[in-house]
Structure 1
Amino acid sequence: MPHNCCVKYCKNNTQKGYRLFRIPSSAERHQTWLQLLNQPQLHKEARICECHFSEDQFESKRLDGKKLLKPFAIPDLLSSIDVENTRKSVENDVPMSSTYSEITEMQTAQSTERSENDMSLESTQETSNSSINNSIEKDALGNESNEDELNDQLETLLENSEDVLNSLKQTIKSLSRKCRRYEKKLQHRENTILESIFNEDQLQFLETDKRKGTKWSDDTITKGLKLYLACGTEGYTELLRQKLPYPSIRTLQHRIRNLKFIPDGTSVRE
């Protein structure tokens, strides 16, 4: 489900690719953001998109390249938006001959419908940043809302950590899939090489490593006999000691009962 920006007239949401940030939970910063938003209250899940923050409100030079807010960041691009919307509304509703006090009263009446802000919008635009910076400095020095500010910092760090964690999880999944593909390729290549050298019964022996009870094929018996004649008893015995998949000497003799081997020669006789 996409999250939408809570700023009036803003249509940005996460589905469009915008990054959204939660309203702070600390009382003082929460009220500051509400003041900038010109809203009396907001849902606890309300969020503001990245377009309402200037570049100096974001952390810079992050190794992961993510765009994350600083712990004490504020949406400092809201005041100018509210002033412009209010000016347009006043120009449409108030005659040119109206006095400044009448315009101010109408601005206050319109603003009261949307928030409890009793200051003029132009004054808010000029003084909000300095007053907010002063309150942040007081919090950093350890005023009564310091605990709430720390909670806000922890929430921000937690969100950032969750983003990093999700990114790492995706990386792990991608690497795991690659590893499985490589393992399959290696296994296939290994099987292809082994199949070009050994018969099926020899491959089964390699899997079980149990010579006793193995049913050797005629082709494997023939290969074993050739090695026996070429290597002699000691040489063939060493091959078996190295776990190569060939029948034992007794098995070879059993399969050719009527033949007598001459280990050091090149022929057999009855």
Structure 2
Amino acid sequence: MPGCCVPGCSNSTAKGFSMRSFPADRERKALWIANIGTPNWEPKANSRICEVHFSKEMWERVRCDGKQKLKCNAVPTIFPFHQLDTNISFDNHDKGENHIDGDNLANDKRSNINLLPISQAYLNASMSTNVEEEIDSKKQCEELRYLLRKSEQTCKKLRSTMKRREEMFNRIIVKSDRYRRILKERLKRLRESNQNYEKLKINLEKIFNKDQIIILSGNDCKWSYETIMRALDLKDTCGNNNKV
């Protein structure tokens, strides 16, 4: 299981700690190495730094799946073992147990002095970037809330319009159904009347001719030649009953 490469840190994935790989960017990678503080050391391909060396400002928000990622400009800044090693070195030097070269100590101090401003500047830039990102995210959230409220209002209006139209269509359907039943009943009565008319017409044609039927129907009609001839024949047949 990979463990933390920071001197004095024994955290590993087996102990439940999350490990982070060194960045591919050369400048950030050099800053990570400088902050670790190990002289003449270069990380290997499998070198990792555990999560405890990164402050809260260096992390993005927790995702829905519970995972959390480092920000693109994150650098490790928490190294409690550095101070512990420095105190031990000074104690040993005061006791005379180990001899420390003055030039090396001066070089270490200069390296530490140069390191702190770089880390602090980078940290300030990171915090400024975080503030800007937070402001942008708040603006985006406000815009999304506004769009959401607007869409909800639009949906409410559409639902109200759909409800009114549905009620109107239902009324039209009810009226159409009522008119259909009325027309169907009228058509039935008309068919019955037509059948009665046809029967009556057939019976009348058996007794009267066409001119007589027209006269009986109340319409003006001129006597046809056929009617006149039949009338004369009927007169001749019956004879003249007038007495001289």
Q: TM-score, normalised by structure 2?
A: 0.43
- Counting helix residues as a fraction of each chain, which structure ranks higher? 2
Q: TM-score, normalised by structure 1?
A: 0.39
Bigger radius of gyration among the two: 2
Query: Which fold has the larger relative contact order, with Cα–Cα distance below 8 Å and residues 6 or more apart in sequence?
Result: 1
